[in-house]
Amino acid sequence: MLNRAPIVGAIVFALSLSSGLIANSFATEKTVEVGGAAMYPSKNIIENAVNSKDHTTLVAAIKAAGLVDTLEAKGPFTVFAPTNAAFEKLPSGTVANLLKPENKKQLTNVLTYHVVAGNYSAAKLAKEANANGGKLHLKTVEGERITIQSDKMGGWWVLDEKGDKAKISIADVNQSNGVIHVIDGVLLPN
């Protein structure tokens, strides 16, 4: 009779070793904490965003708009991610109205207005804005543009076409398919 104990033992050891290596690879990544959760650069935008307690409204909106697959794709994307508090600044009932199935197109437009194709780190945004007189105009996935500009205190703002602005509160949350910059307001396309 074949003694399977050494084979089973070797398999268990190999599995425990590989799970330890996976855990160690996450442990050695340079993470940023957002919404009480570590954001891992090896994970994509959606895999990280679902763990942030500060972005539950954004995640619900992304799901309702059917944009999960898009934001899990290769990219790269730069996402200006409004917090729950940012959504709460909108007039009462706005979010509930946008989440209705009949308003999916409008919701999609609002969400894709917060996404730019390409990977724009804070350093790249600053460099390009400073080379352009202090402002950087970026075309969003929605099709309209947003403007990035600094204030006199060294903070960075994202402005929509109407001039409404949101401050970047956490920059450079790196993802496997781009970067997230957390913002304190919701930008609305025309």
pLDDT tens for 117-158 read 999 999 999 999 999 988 999 999 999 999 999 987 878 999
The whole-chain average pLDDT of the chain stands at 86
Rg (CA), the chain: 20
Which pLDDT does position 21 carry in this prediction?
43
Mean pLDDT, range 40-69, rounded to an integer: 93
Which pLDDT does position 36 carry in this prediction?
87
> Beta strands 178-183 and 77-82: pairing type?
parallel
pLDDT for residue 42 is more than 80: yes
Mean pLDDT, range 166-186, rounded to an integer: 95
pLDDT for residue 55 is more than 50: yes
Lookup result for tokens 């994202």: 158
Which pLDDT does position 23 carry in this prediction?
46
DSSP state of 91: P
Which pLDDT does position 32 carry in this prediction?
87
DSSP state of 168: E
pTM score:
0.83
DSSP state of 40: P
DSSP state of 153: T
Q: Name residues whose C-beta falls within 8 Å of residue 67's C-beta, 6 or more positions apart in sequence.
A: 108, 111, 112
Contact 170, 181 (CB under 8 A): yes
Which pLDDT does position 30 carry in this prediction?
82
